[in-house]
Structures are given as C-alpha cells and as structure tokens.
Structure 1
C-alpha cells in the first residue's frame, strides 16, 4: 500500500472511531455542544470550512483515480492478455484488488466525512432545540401557573361576589321587613291619630252641649232670681 492510500486508510479508521464516539447514546447533545464550544474549536472555526472542502476534493480525486484503476483492470483487454500468461493474470487480479480496495477506502472515507459533518450539525441543532424546548417548557409552566392563579383568583372573586350578593339580599330582606314593620306602626299610628281626632271631636261636641246646657241653666237661674225678687217686692 502506498503512502497516500495508507493515509486514506488511517483517515477512514479515525472517521469510524469518531463516528462511533459521536453516536454513544449516554452522551447527550448538550454535552457535545459544550465540547464544540471549546476555545480551540472557536480558534479553528475560520479554517474548518476550508479544511472540510479540501478533504472532500482530495477524497473525490482519490475516488475517481481508484474508479479509473478499477475500470482499467476490469476491462476486456487486460484480461485477454492475462489469459495468455498465468503470471500476468495474477498480477492483473492483484492490481484489480488493490484498485477496488482503494475505491472502497476513498468512497467510505468520503461518505463518513460527510456523515460526520452532518452528525455534528444535528447534535448542535438538537442541543439548541433542547435548550429552546426547556425554555418553552419553563414558559409553559409559568403560563400554566399563572392560569391556575387567575382561575383561583376568579373563583375567590366569584365566592366573594356570591357572599356579598347573599349579604346584600339578606340586608335587603331585613330592610324590607323593617319597612313593613314601620309601615305597620305608621298605620297603627294613623289609626290612633284618627281615633284621637274622633275622640276630640266627640269631646268638643260634648263640651259644646255642656256649654249650651250651662247657658240654659244660667238663664233659668236668672229668671228664677228675677221672679223671686219680684215676689219679695210685692210682699213688702
């Protein structure tokens, strides 16, 4: 294996290890977000896109080269020459095997390189989504608590209004009873006043009759005195 394909193989093995680490289930996306926010990554972030696209171009070139080698050694002409010479046949098969191996190495390296970038992006998005969901959950909990508090306040207000209405109705009933009682007392007083007026009128009439009787008796008394004085004068 040449140096470049040895490097591609090591790169592929490293990608496999990193992908397995990123896929560990008990490491949450938020922890990975903390790791991705280290200062070293912030320092490397300006060069990350260049490195990423450079590796893609290198792997694509190696993949196309390996594909060319596979098509070269799997064509009809090398196989026809190999059928004439058994040693050449083994050499062609060895070249074909190496070309296919290189094709797989470069292809899987390119595939895993894209998958790793996608995994990192999804982990960051998942962490942001979890943080947003936590914030939304906190807002929802606060809103639910506020709604429950408002509901309790409304119930208390309703109870207070009902109690006030009941107390007002009882007060109105009491006032109505007092008004009816006062009306009865007023009616009784009016009847007593009318009765008093009637008694006064009767007493006035009785007093008038007594006065007339007194005048009549006084007149008769004067008449009797006049008669008596007249008889006394005759006797003298």
Structure 2
C-alpha cells in the first residue's frame, strides 16, 4: 500500500486516513497475511494535513480508528519508512508491527513545538518501543531522529530498501498465522491501551483549548516561530 499525495507530502487528512483503514480491512478480508505500507516520493508521511481540517474532532476520531484497525488486524503490517515520518506519520509507522527504514529516513513528533497534546496511546506506544528515556527525548525536544539512531533504540527494526521490506513481509507471511496473531495480541497489550487518568485528560483538554495552540497555528500560517506563554 502506497500513500500517493506527493503534493501534500503524503500528509493525512480524514479521507486518506479512512482510505488506509478500509484498505487494511480489505487486504485482510482477501486472505492476505502481511502488508507493507509506504509513501510515494521522498516522504513517508509528513504528518497531519494542516490545511485539511485536522484540528477538528472528526479527523482525530478517524485517525484513532485507522491506528486501531492496523493494531488489531491479523495482518503483520510492515511500514517501509522511505523518508520523513512526522507527527501522524510517525504514529502510522508506530502502529505497524515492524518498521524498515531507508538510510535517509527520520522520525519526529514535534508536539511540544506546536502546542497540542498527544493521546496517551502515542506516548505509551513510543515508550514501549524505545524505552522511557529515549521517548522523553523525542517528545520533549521534538527533534528529528534519523534511521540509524532510531534503529539503535528499537524504533526501526531494519535499515534497507522497499524490496527488503517486501521480502521480509513475504517471508513472515509463510510463518504460522495463528502464532503470529497471538504474538501481535500480546505485544500490543501494552500500556498504550490504558485510558488516561482524570488529571491527564484535563491537562490534554487544557492544551487543546489553549491560547498557545492558537498562537502556534497563527505562527505556522505566518511562517514564524510561536511565542508560547502557558495560557
């Protein structure tokens, strides 16, 4: 499966997110055992399409539905990260079972630079993949982390080409599907499944309705760095 919106750098909106969800469901229904997801051009997915209504609850709900479909599918899904995986693009890669990355690929979750709150699933899934220390570095700084460093921390399973990703997915598809399904269920039953506590939910809501978030959106539109005030 290839994301083909090069004019938007494969950024996600509700329609594309829904398309990914339906495609995963269709491939599983057709009896396939594995799937590779990648992007066209030099970008895997540049995150949410900030011009496409992504600040609405409709996009957020659809994106969660897409991630849950990938996570709960019986398919073993391999992300071939062919370039930048930013924000929602990093979430998409993290929802997959395995990640193969181009040597020039990188990941970034720059939420602290944009003023909004991540869902608990993303924070906890990242923590389960790379450990708490590196997860904090990624999220507190928002800095990009390239393929080699990401591989050293477990976010990337292999560095290679799309052919490597396809060959790996094809090989895994020959293994015992019931065993793989059980393993996937166990791996994904991590702290990412925990519901936010009341204080966490309140803090997230505060960020989402804050003046800081409005300032970040204005700054993005004006091409400048936001000035956060904590209100």
Q: How does the TM-score come out when normalised to structure 1?
A: 0.21
Greater length-normalized contact order (CA 8 Å, ≥ 6 residues apart) = 1
Q: How does the TM-score come out when normalised to structure 2?
A: 0.21
Q: Look at both structures and tell me which one has the larger radius of gyration over its CA atoms.
A: 1
More strand by share: 2
